């Protein structure tokens, strides 16, 4: 409240932001009092052990889950209660842990339909899809049925589909899960290029520490539905709470 | 480049073109060679293709099973009959009809379009509510709608004739008149499934959550398909009532619904080719079974026949048999393949033929 009004307005205009958000399922808190801000063209890593509330947070940010408490603002507009399609139309795209491709459509159609949904013509969406598929390394797979793709290609197609509607913010839910080291490197190259090539900010949920640490500008660590640390990767890495909460849980698994 | 363009154009139009051309050849053959029975058997197949196409436009693209579409055929059938029947009959029998409908004497082919419009309006009103429901609730609700429409049409004596059938409905013309509307239905279905709406709807069929995350308004896409499929059902109902020449509400009820859905599922509910394959396959099997029920005379004068009712039972068994072997129907959701000769045009670069590696 102490901030000058003009500064607050500028800050609020250009960001995907939640403040003091809690989500309760049958009285149980999946996330409690979490605030997170994703500014244009930055890469923020969201980490935490399984069940920390990361995916719930993504659901809140994309309109799939209405927060029980707290606010959601998208470039200054109050986006609480918007439908997923509306949030998507306003520039927030996401990928899914489970892939969730349109599995009976072919690769090109999967990407193309996202462009169409964002208002492009069929031909325009097709051109865009071709470009994006080339960038993620699926240029040779246009005619393949999405459901028949190998797992890692499905992940890449999921990202391509999200990119096809030219999002301003893209939320990647464990994109590197199940990938080999070399596939990871390739994926990291793609993610690293997103702000520059596509002009979008990235919220990266990832268990692979190497991936998160080397890509993120900032880290946000959740545990038990609460924010335990926020900061630069190198700061967070040294933090005791991070080591015990996150890595401890990983080791224990 | 030229080749690529030609190839993609050919791929775009091949399915409806191939299907319609194939059916045209059979229709011509039937017209030249067939007896009256064969001709009406084939005409009924053509009409069933219209009706199953109506089901398919919604079910095939949205993945939501709708059981009530026969109601739109009923709406269309009656509109076509009302508009085209002899004015005298209407003034005596259907006193509840508005005056301008009583005195109307519209050409049958023109009244098919009126039937489509009426069915589309009905589908818009019903669909606006039903399409909001979740998949299973929507299926049940469409079924309830069919029951409601049937009860109304069966009992509104002054408008529909009630239990007494409407008779003396004029004929649309020969086998080719039905063929033209059938071809139109296939083209409409194909244009829709190739359109941006069709693509978005098929995406939502595969994964509704991902479709929403992609910014697709699933409700709107489903409603568009519902209205279009209603219009095609209206067309089928109109053409069917001209074919029968006599109409009761029960024509468009349970047994027709069951038959059409069996055709759709057996052929493969996710491709237009499946519609044609399903209608032809199931019609032929059921015709054979019907003849079996009529029986054949043995040399000693006895009749050897299937017990009555076996047609439905064996048709059910046939459907189970197909589905066990091919859960996605005969076509498994794929379309008519392009003939090999056209499929991959040999890459010819400035007159030189590339050597195959």
Tens digit of pLDDT for each residue in B185-240? 999 999 999 999 999 999 999 999 999 999 999 999 999 999 999 999 999 999 99
Q: Tell me, what DSSP letter sits at residue B69?
A: T
Mark whether A10 and A63 lie in a shared domain. Answer: yes
Residue-range definition of the domain harbouring residue A139: 101-166
Cβ contact A112:A165 at 8 Å: no
Q: Closest chain A residue to B333 measured between Cα atoms?
A: A104
Query: Residue A102 is encoded by which pair of tokens?
Result: 């349109």
Domain final position from A166, A189, A220 = A166
Mark whether A131 and A110 lie in a shared domain. Answer: yes
Cβ contact B357:B294 at 8 Å: no
Q: How high is the pLDDT of residue A252?
A: 42
Q: Distance between CA A122 and CA A128 in Å, rounded?
A: 10
A8 versus A146: the higher-pLDDT residue is A146
pLDDT band of A71, cuts 50, 70, 90 = very high
Give CA separation, A211 vs A51, A153, A174, B173, B329, in Å. 20, 18, 10, 71, 45
Rounded to the nearest angstrom, the gap between the alpha carbon of residue A36 and the centroid of all alpha carbons in its chain is 13
How many residue pairs from chains A and B have C-beta atoms closer than 8 A? 75
Note the pLDDT tens digit of each residue in A190-220: 999 999 988 999 999 988 888 999 999 999 9
Residue A33 is part of a domain; what is its CATH number? 3.40.50.300
Domain ranges, ordered by start, for chain B = 19-252, 254-343
To test the contact with chain B by mutation, choose from A103, A116, A125 the residue with the greatest count of B C-beta atoms within 10 A, namely A116
Mark whether A149 and A179 lie in a shared domain. Answer: no
- Are B213 and A117 an interchain contact pair (Cβ–Cβ within 8 Å)? no
pLDDT band of A72, cuts 50, 70, 90 = very high
How close A108 gets to chain B, by Cα (Å)?
12
Q: How high is the pLDDT of residue B173?
A: 84
Mark whether A171 and A158 lie in a shared domain. Answer: no
Could you tell me if B207 lies within 8 Å of chain A, comparing CB atoms?
A: yes
The half-sphere exposure of A155 on its side-chain side, counting CA atoms within 13 A, is 19
Across-strand partners of B35? none
User: What interface predicted TM-score (ipTM) does this complex get?
Assistant: 0.85
Mark whether A29 and A74 lie in a shared domain. Answer: yes
Q: Assess whether pLDDT exceeds 70 at residue A175.
A: yes
Give CA separation, A82 vs A66, A203, B3, in Å. 8, 20, 47
Per-residue burial over B337-346, b = 16 or more CB atoms within 10 Å of its CB, e = otherwise: eeeeeeeeee
Residue A140: Cβ within 10 Å count: 10
Mark whether A107 and A223 lie in a shared domain. Answer: no
Mark whether A197 and A127 lie in a shared domain. Answer: no
Cβ contact A192:A215 at 8 Å: yes
Across-strand partners of A19? A71
Q: How high is the pLDDT of residue B354?
A: 37
Cβ contact A252:A80 at 8 Å: no
Q: How high is the pLDDT of residue A2?
A: 53
Identify the segments of chain B with pLDDT beneath 70: 1-2, 340-357
Cβ contact A236:A78 at 8 Å: no
Domains in chain A, number: 2
Q: Assess whether pLDDT exceeds 80 at residue A69.
A: yes
To test the contact with chain A by mutation, choose from B215, B219, B331 the residue with the greatest count of A C-beta atoms within 10 A, namely B215
Note the pLDDT tens digit of each residue in B288-318: 888 888 888 788 877 788 888 888 888 888 8
- Are B212 and A109 an interchain contact pair (Cβ–Cβ within 8 Å)? no
Note the pLDDT tens digit of each residue in A101-123: 999 999 999 999 999 999 899 99
Residue A96 in any domain: the answer is no
Q: Give the three-class secondary structure for B11.
A: helix
Q: Distance between CA B35 and CA A134 in Å, rounded?
A: 59
From chain A, pick out residues whose CB is under 8 angstroms from the CB of B216: 85, 113, 117
């Amino acid at each position: 409240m102490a901030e000058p009004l003009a500064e607050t307005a500028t800050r609020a205009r250009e960001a995907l932001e939640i403040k003091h958000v809690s989500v309760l399922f049958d009285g149980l808190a999946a996330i409690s009092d979490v605030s997170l801000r994703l500014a244009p063209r930055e890469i923020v890593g969201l980490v935490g052990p399984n069940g920390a509330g990361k995916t719930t947070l993504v659901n809140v940010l994309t309109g799939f889950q209405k927060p029980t408490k707290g606010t959601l603002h998208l470039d200054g507009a109050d986006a609480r209660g918007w439908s997923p399609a509306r949030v998507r139309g306003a520039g927030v795209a996401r990928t899914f842990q489970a892939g969730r491709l349109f599995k009976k459509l072919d690769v090109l159609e999967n990407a193309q339909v996202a462009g169409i949904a964002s208002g492009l013509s069929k031909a325009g969406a097709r051109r865009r899809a071709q470009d994006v598929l080339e960038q993620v390394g699926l240029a040779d797979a246009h005619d393949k049925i999405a459901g028949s793709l190998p797992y890692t290609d499905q992940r890449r197609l999921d990202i391509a589909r999200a990119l096809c509607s030219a999002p301003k913010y893209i939320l990647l839910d464990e994109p590197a899960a199940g990938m080999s080291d070399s596939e990871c490197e390739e994926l990291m190259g793609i993610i690293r290029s997103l702000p520059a090539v596509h002009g979008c900010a990235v919220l990266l949920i990832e268990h692979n520490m190497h991936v998160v640490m080397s890509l993120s500008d900032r880290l946000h660590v959740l545990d038990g539905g609460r924010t335990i640390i926020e900061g630069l990767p190198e700061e967070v890495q040294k933090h005791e709470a991070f080591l015990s909460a996150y890595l401890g849980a990983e080791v224990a698994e | 480049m030229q080749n690529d363009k030609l190839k993609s154009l050919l791929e775009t139009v091949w399915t409806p073109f191939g299907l319609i051309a194939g059916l045209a050849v059979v229709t011509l053959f039937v017209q030249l060679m067939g007896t009256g029975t064969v001709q009406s058997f084939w005409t009924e197949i053509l009409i069933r293709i219209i009706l199953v196409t109506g089901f398919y436009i919604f079910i095939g693209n949205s993945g939501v099973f709708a059981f009530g579409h026969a109601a739109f055929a009923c709406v269309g059938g009656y509109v076509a009959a009302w508009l085209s029947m002899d004015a005298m009959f209407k003034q005596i029998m259907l006193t509840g009809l508005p005056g301008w409908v009583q005195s109307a004497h519209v050409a049958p082919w023109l009244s098919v379009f009126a039937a489509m419009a009426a069915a589309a309006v009905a589908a818009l009103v019903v669909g606006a509510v039903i399409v909001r429901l979740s998949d299973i609730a929507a299926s049940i609700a469409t079924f309830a709608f069919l029951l409601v429409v049937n009860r109304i049409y069966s009992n509104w004596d002054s408008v529909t004739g009630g239990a007494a059938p409407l008779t003396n409905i004029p004929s649309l013309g020969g086998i080719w008149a039905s063929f033209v509307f059938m071809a139109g239905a296939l083209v409409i279905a194909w244009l829709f499934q190739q359109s941006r709406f069709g693509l978005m709807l098929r995406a939502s069929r595969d994964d509704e959550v991902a479709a929403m995350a992609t910014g697709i308004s699933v409700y709107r896409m489903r409603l568009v398909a519902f209205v279009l499929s209603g219009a095609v059902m209206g067309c089928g109902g109109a053409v069917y009532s001209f074919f029968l020449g006599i109409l009761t509400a029960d024509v468009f009820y349970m047994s027709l619904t069951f038959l059409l859905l069996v055709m759709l599922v057996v052929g493969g509910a996710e491709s237009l080719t499946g519609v044609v394959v399903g209608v032809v396959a199931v019609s032929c099997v059921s015709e054979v079974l019907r003849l079996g029920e009529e029986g054949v005379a043995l040399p000693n004068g006895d009749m050897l026949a299937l017990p009555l009712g076996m047609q439905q039972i064996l048709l059910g068994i046939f459907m189970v048999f197909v589905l066990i072997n091919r859960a996605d129907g005969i076509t498994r959701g794929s379309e008519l393949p392009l003939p090999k000769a056209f499929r991959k045009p040999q890459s010819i670069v400035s007159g030189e033929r590339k050597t195959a590696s």
